[in-house]
C-alpha cells in the first residue's frame, strides 16, 4: 500500500536533499579504517565496515552522518576508481584465483578469473595484468577482476623489467616492422663531406651514434663547427607504418641494464648510425664561434654525406685531455688529435658564454647498473660528466639553440622544449621564502627568464645549497610545445632539439621542418595533441626507469641489512613521519622513519614546509645535510629501503 505512495516519495526526497554530500579521495590506513580527503584541510572518518566497499585512491561521493559527535563518511557513489588496469601477483585459495595488486596501499587480494583470450594456466606467485570488472559502489556484491595478460612467472629474475613495463603499458622489445631498403627521394641536394675528418665521441657500449663533429680554426680567434646529425627521416616516410610506430613510442626508453629502441635496431644501430668508415646521410649545422663563445648570426643548415674517421670513447678522450695528453691512450693520428684539441677550445669558450648569458647544468653523477643476462646485479658504477662528455653536450646545446632560432624565424613553430621557471602563484611563494633568508626578489621579476637566471646564479654561488633545494620545488615542469618559449632551466630564450632523431620522435619532426627550410618549402604545423602525448610518454618512461631502479637497489642492498656498513647520504626531503635520503655511493634512495631518528616521538618535529627536523625545538637535520646511515630493513613488497642515521656523524 505504501510502495507507490506519492506522499512518502516526496518525504524521502526532502530528507535526501537535506543530507550533507561530499566528494573526495579515499585514503586507507594500516588498521583497516580510512578517511575521505576533501582537501588539504578537511577529511572525514570511514569505518572498517564501509572501507570494504572502496579502495585506497577511489574518488567517491559520500553522505556525512554523525555518530557520537563524530562525522562519518558513508560511501554512496563511485566517481573514479583508483584501480582500472593494474598489475599484481596470483594467489590460490580453495582452488580459487585471487590477485594481490602490486600497490603498497592495497592489502586485500581480489577474486579473479582469466579472460577469454588468456590461455596461461596461472600458478601461485605469477605476475599478471588485470582489470577491475566489479565494484561494490557500482551495485556489485564485491570486487572482482579479470586477468587480461600473463607477464611472467614468480621465479623470473627479469621480473622488475617485465612487470614495470607492463604496469605502464610500455613495449618490451624493439619495433617489429619492415626495414626500408632504400632512401626516400626527397629532392634534397647533399654536399659530399666524406673527405672531412668528422669524429664521434660516445660511451664504449653505444651503437646508435647520432652525432659527429668537425671543427676548423678559421683565424681571428674564430672557430667553425660542423655538427652532423644522423638522418633517419631520409628512410622513414611521413605517416608510414614505421613513422606511426615511432610517433607512438616517441622516445627510446632507457632503462637500468638495457634500452627499448624507438626504431628497429637495424636502423638506429646500423643503417642510420654514424659508424666509423661508413658513408651516411646527415643533416649538418655549420656555425662560427668567436673567442668569447658567441655564435655568429649566419648559421647554415644543409644536407650532406659524411664518413666518420674515428669512433672515440668519452673515457679515453677525457683521460687524454685531463692528463695533459700523457695518458696511455693516444689519438690514432695528428689530424684526430687536432680535432680533439680544437673541440676542447670550443667547449671552454661556449661554457664561459653560457655561464655569462645562460645557465650551466648542476654537476650530478649518473649511476649505471651492471647486469648480466640473467638479470643479476653485478655492480653499480658511478659515472661523472667528464670533459669529453661536456664537449659533446655543449656542441648539441649549441646546435639546438641554432635550430630553435632558425625554426622560429622561418616558420614560427616546431617541437620546442619549454621550461617556464615559476608561474605567478609559485613565484609569490618562492619570493616569500627567499625574503625569509634575506634575498628580496619581486615575484613579477622572478617569473621572467632574466629573473630566473639571476636567481639561479645567486643561489649557485652560495656555499650551502639548502635554499636552492627549497626553491626548486616551486619550479614548473618542462613541457613540449609547438611554439617557441623560454627554457629557464637552461637559461635560454628558446630550445628545439633535433640532435637525437633516432631516439626522439620530436627530433624527427624538427628534421623534416629543417629539410623544408633548406628546400625553401612551406611546412605543416605539428598537431598540439602530439606534444601532449609525448609529454605523457616521457613521464611514463621516467617512472618506469625509477621503479625498476628502486627494485634493483632493493635487491642489491639486501646484503647490507643489519650490517655495520655506513653509507654517506644526503637528506632529500622531510615528511611528517620521517625523511628521505640518497646514498651518495650508489644513488639509492632510502626512507628514515621518525622513530629511528629520535626515540621520544613527542619531542621530534618533522617540518616538510621548511625541510627541517627539530628535537626539543633545536635543529637536528635539514635538507641537503650529509649524514651517515645504515640499512636496517628492505621491504620488497613496496621496494622500500629503510635506513637509520648515525647521530654522531651529523654535520
Q: How far is residue 121's CA from residue 97's CA, in Å, rounded to a whole number? A: 11
CA distances from 355 to 348, 419, 490 (A): 11, 18, 10
Q: How far is residue 28's CA from residue 36's CA, in Å, rounded to a whole number? A: 9
Contact 469, 391 (CB under 8 A): no
End-to-end alpha carbon distance in the chain: 80
Q: Is 420 a residue of the active site?
A: no
SS3 519: helix
Q: Which one of 102, 126, 202, 625 is the catalytic residue?
A: 202
Q: Which one of 44, 235, 314, 553 is the catalytic residue?
A: 314
Closest CA to 400 of 235, 257, 285: 285
Q: Is 560 a residue of the active site?
A: no
480 Cβ contact partners less than 8 Å away, ≥ 6 residues apart: 415, 416, 417, 418, 506, 531, 534, 535, 538
Tell me the three cell numbers of residue 370.
651492471
494 Cβ contact partners less than 8 Å away, ≥ 6 residues apart: 401, 404, 405, 408, 416, 484, 485, 486, 487
Rg (CA), the chain: 29
SS3 207: coil
Q: Which one of 126, 208, 319, 507 is the catalytic residue?
A: 208
Alpha-carbon dihedral sign for residues 180, 185, 186, 189: positive
Contact 272, 231 (CB under 8 A): yes
Q: Which one of 249, 470, 503, 639 is the catalytic residue?
A: 503
CA distances from 52 to 49, 106, 250, 440 (A): 6, 12, 41, 52
Burial 532-545 (b: 16+ CB within 10 A, else e): ebbbebbebbeebb
Q: Is 156 a residue of the active site?
A: no
Q: Which one of 210, 319, 507, 547 is the catalytic residue?
A: 210
Q: Is 210 a residue of the active site?
A: yes
CA distances from 515 to 194, 279, 401, 483, 512 (A): 20, 20, 17, 18, 5
Q: Is 202 a residue of the active site?
A: yes
Active-site positions?
Answer: 202, 208, 210-211, 314, 503
Amino acid at each position: 500500500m505504501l510502495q507507490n505512495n506519492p506522499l512518502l516519495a516526496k518525504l524521502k526526497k526532502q530528507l535526501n536533499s537535506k543530507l550533507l554530500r561530499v566528494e573526495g579521495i579515499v585514503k586507507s590506513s594500516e588498521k583497516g579504517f580510512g578517511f575521505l580527503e576533501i582537501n588539504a584541510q578537511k577529511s572525514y572518518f570511514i569505518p572498517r565496515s564501509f572501507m570494504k566497499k572502496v579502495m585506497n585512491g577511489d574518488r567517491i561521493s559520500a553522505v556525512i552522518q554523525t555518530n557520537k559527535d563524530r562525522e562519518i563518511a558513508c560511501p554512496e557513489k563511485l566517481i573514479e576508481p583508483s584501480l582500472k588496469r593494474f598489475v599484481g601477483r596470483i594467489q590460490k585459495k580453495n582452488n580459487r584465483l585471487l590477485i594481490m595488486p602490486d600497490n603498497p596501499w592495497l592489502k586485500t587480494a581480489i577474486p579473479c578469473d582469466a579472460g577469454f583470450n588468456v590461455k596461461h594456466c596461472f600458478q601461485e606467485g605469477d605476475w599478471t595484468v588485470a582489470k577491475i570488472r566489479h565494484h561494490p559502489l557500482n551495485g556489485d556484491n564485491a570486487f572482482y577482476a579479470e586477468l587480461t595478460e600473463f607477464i611472467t612467472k614468480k621465479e623470473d629474475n627479469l621480473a622488475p623489467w617485465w612487470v614495470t613495463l607492463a604496469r605502464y603499458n610500455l613495449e618490451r622489445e624493439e619495433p617489429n616492422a619492415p626495414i626500408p631498403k632504400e632512401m626516400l627521394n626527397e629532392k634534397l641536394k647533399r654536399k659530399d663531406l666524406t673527405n672531412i675528418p668528422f669524429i664521434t665521441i660516445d660511451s664504449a657500449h653505444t651503437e646508435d651514434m647520432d652525432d659527429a663533429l668537425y671543427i676548423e680554426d678559421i683565424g681571428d680567434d674564430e672557430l667553425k663547427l660542423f655538427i652532423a646529425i644522423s638522418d633517419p627521416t631520409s628512410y622513414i616516410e611521413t605517416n608510414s607504418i614505421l613513422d606511426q610506430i615511432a610517433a607512438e613510442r616517441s622516445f627510446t626508453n632507457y632503462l637500468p641494464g638495457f634500452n627499448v629502441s624507438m626504431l628497429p635496431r637495424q636502423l638506429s644501430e646500423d643503417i642510420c648510425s654514424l659508424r666509423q668508415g661508413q658513408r651516411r646521410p646527415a643533416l649538418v649545422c655549420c656555425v662560427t664561434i668567436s673567442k668569447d663563445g658567441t655564435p655568429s648570426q649566419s648559421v647554415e643548415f644543409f644536407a650532406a654525406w659524411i664518413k666518420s674517421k674515428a669512433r672515440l670513447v668519452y673515457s679515453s678522450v677525457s683521460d687524454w685531455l685531463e692528463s695533459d695528453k700523457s695518458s696511455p691512450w693516444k689519438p690514432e693520428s695528428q689530424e684526430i688529435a687536432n680535432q680533439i684539441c680544437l673541440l676542447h677550445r670550443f667547449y671552454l669558450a661556449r661554457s664561459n658564454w653560457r655561464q655569462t648569458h645562460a645557465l650551466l647544468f648542476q654537476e650530478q653523477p649518473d649511476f649505471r647498473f651492471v647486469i648480466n643476462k640473467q638479470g643479476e646485479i653485478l655492480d653499480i658504477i658511478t659515472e661523472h660528466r667528464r670533459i669529453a662528455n661536456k664537449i659533446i653536450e655543449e656542441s648539441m646545446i649549441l646546435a639546438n639553440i641554432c635550430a630553435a632560432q632558425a625554426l622560429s624565424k622561418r616558420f614560427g613553430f616546431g617541437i620546442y622544449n619549454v621550461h617556464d621557471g615559476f608561474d605567478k602563484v609559485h613565484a609569490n611563494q618562492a619570493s616569500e621564502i627567499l625574503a625569509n633568508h634575506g634575498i628580496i626578489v619581486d615575484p613579477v621579476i622572478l617569473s621572467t627568464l632574466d629573473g630566473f637566471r639571476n636567481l639561479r646564479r645567486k643561489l649557485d654561488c652560495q656555499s650551502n645549497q639548502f635554499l636552492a633545494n627549497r626553491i626548486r620545488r616551486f619550479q614548473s615542469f618542462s613541457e613540449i610545445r609547438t611554439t617557441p618559449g623560454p627554457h629557464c632551466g637552461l637559461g635560454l630564450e628558446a630550445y628545439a632539439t633535433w640532435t637525437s632523431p633516432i631516439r626522439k620522435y620530436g627530433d624527427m619532426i624538427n628534421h623534416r621542418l629543417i629539410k623544408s627550410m633548406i628546400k625553401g618549402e612551406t611546412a605543416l604545423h605539428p598537431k598540439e595533441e602530439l606534444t601532449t602525448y609525448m609529454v605523457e610518454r616521457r613521464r611514463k618512461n621516467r617512472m618506469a626507469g625509477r621503479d625498476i631502479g628502486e627494485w634493483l637497489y632493493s635487491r642489491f642492498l639486501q646484503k647490507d641489512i643489519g650490517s655495520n656498513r655506513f653509507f654517506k647520504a644526503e637528506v632529500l626531503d622531510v615528511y611528517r613521519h620521517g625523511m628521505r635520503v640518497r646514498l651518495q655511493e650508489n644513488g639509492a634512495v632510502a626512507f628514515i622513519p621518525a622513530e629511528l631518528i629520535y626515540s621520544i616521538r613527542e619531542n621530534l618535529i618533522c617540518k616538510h614546509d621548511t625541510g627541517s627536523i627539530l628535537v626539543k625545538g633545536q635543529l637536528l637535520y635539514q635538507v641537503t645535510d650529509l649524514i651517515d646511515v645504515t640499512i636496517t630493513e628492505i621491504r620488497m613488497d613496496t621496494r622500500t629501503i629503510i635506513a637509520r642515521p648515525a647521530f654522531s656523524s651529523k654535520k
